[in-house]
Structure 1
């Protein structure tokens, strides 16, 4: 399968057309024509090597949806013509305790889980290329069924933004009568607000952008607090049971600690860079936990898709062409998107100039998927 994608071969370069080959699906695998791909803040971090772990070439994209074009021998979950999605993982050992519990993202096998892109943890050590591309191949165990009620373009962000925020809510038992705080109302946060409401919680949005107040209230938030407003923060001290912190960069967590009830949790889902001068005294005396949470397993991702279908939860999206991705990255850095870009991949398939100009990647990668 000759595939055209957008990626970069160094941190300082803009994304541009690249082409490579994905092999046809083997037993247990399906091939997908990618129709849409969401743009996640981690795509920007990875393309710019902000986490100092990028493997080049880097073709981002882990909110991938499309139509099944071929199935390998033994596939039972999908048939040609079905709609399917691929989230942040494409493989795991499928044998360890974490995989058995449906937490493939925490796979403890020899190479851990295989990420959808920049995942050089396959047994043969080669890199993986993501959904900013025209075609994809994946094991059927790691493909999601898209409910009929959800359009493909709206399904894409649920596969990362939806599951990443749903997972800590499920793990910590968020339910009616509890108060959920959502820190950072961007691509992840705006999904967290809607999911929290569907689970019956009172939802408090915590933002440093008070200009978003009207948009946040339209999402269903019961209250919007400007974190820089000292009086408002003091008035809401010790009122929150769980905060899902979606802020994707290093920041001061201490103001959020003061909002927490005793025996509550702050779940960090977006910041891989750490916190300075964390107020452990408040953590100790109020029994407040600061924990991390990474995406979610395949079953939980399917569960949040069904939840969004049932409760009419949809990401607010702005559709872009593939050749607009560099501008989208700039706008994302400037927090100038409400609330998620989604790429119309037909724009890449129809772009003959991109196919002609695409640089061939001389890489022995045989697609994202390997045997168990």
Structure 2
């Protein structure tokens, strides 16, 4: 992570309408509803760019704000009246889809959706634990319910309980400091998505996974503290994911 350059114009998960379109651009016209996610450029010539996984570009993806573009300029984000973006990094938004609903899909949504698909979490009746109920966490719960999963939310705040149940339809809520309740869930869940930041122990979470269960980190918890025995004993997997490619985002 690089330091912030000032002055800075932040903002990603951008939605709006195309006001001007460059010459020889196919597939986008003035008036189209478009979105911009976490990156606005990349090297365009590596295997990841070819596979439309530009976020993993070998030369480094150029982030939407405070990124260093190929010409050395610092990118400015979405808190502008206008933003200029290469057409390869724009996403078409359907006419009948609310712009305000599309915006969170461009970062938070794709960040949790990609590992859910990659690790086959879209299996009806499976169980998913979501650690944290912020921007990423609430999207993980919504996708999980849409897939027909049984959702358990872990949060440090009891104040998130009402939101988890009433707004998002979670099946169970656990305060992460409640050791007894966590112990009662031992070997009962298929998947975990860790969306929370800040240093915390992962061993208690690994213990709630079934044999062959998968823990995916999409937040930034700092130093990862994990007893390898808990993975080896149950053939469990701890992995990570960062956003998603242009094809899947679209």
TM-score tier by shorter-chain length is over 0.9
d(CA) in 2 for partners of 1:123 and 1:272? 30
Q: Is the 8 A contact 1:227 1:255 kept in 2?
A: no
User: TM-score when scaled to structure 2?
Assistant: 0.93
Give the alignment of 1:1-372 within 5 angstroms.
51=1, 53-108=3-58, 111-120=59-68, 122-174=69-121, 175-218=123-166, 219-271=168-220, 273-275=222-224, 277-302=225-250
Q: Is the 8 A contact 1:118 1:128 kept in 2?
A: yes
Q: CA deviation at 1:196?
A: 1.1
CA-to-aligned-CA distance 1:258-312 (integer Å, 9 cap, x gap) = 111222221111116222x42221122122222121011111111xxxxxxxxxx
Q: CA deviation at 1:194?
A: 0.5
RMSD of aligned alpha carbons: 1.6
Paired residues in the alignment total 248
- With over 3 angstroms needed to count, the CA separation of the structure-2 counterparts of 1:272 and 1:113, relative to structure 1, is farther
Q: Which residue of 2 aligns with 1:13?
A: none
- With over 3 angstroms needed to count, the CA separation of the structure-2 counterparts of 1:241 and 1:249, relative to structure 1, is same
Q: CA deviation at 1:62?
A: 1.1
CA-to-aligned-CA distance 1:82-129 (integer Å, 9 cap, x gap) = 111000011222332112222111111xx3211111211x32232111
d(CA) in 2 for partners of 1:58 and 1:268? 28
Q: CA deviation at 1:188?
A: 1.1
Q: Is the 8 A contact 1:176 1:200 kept in 2?
A: yes
Q: Is the 8 A contact 1:241 1:261 kept in 2?
A: yes
Consecutive aligned runs of 4 or more in structure 1 exceeding 3 Å deviation = none
d(CA) in 1 for partners of 2:17 and 2:227? 49
Q: Secondary structure at the match of 1:273?
A: coil
User: TM-score when scaled to structure 1?
Assistant: 0.64
Flag structure 2 segments of 5+ consecutive residues without an equivalent.
none
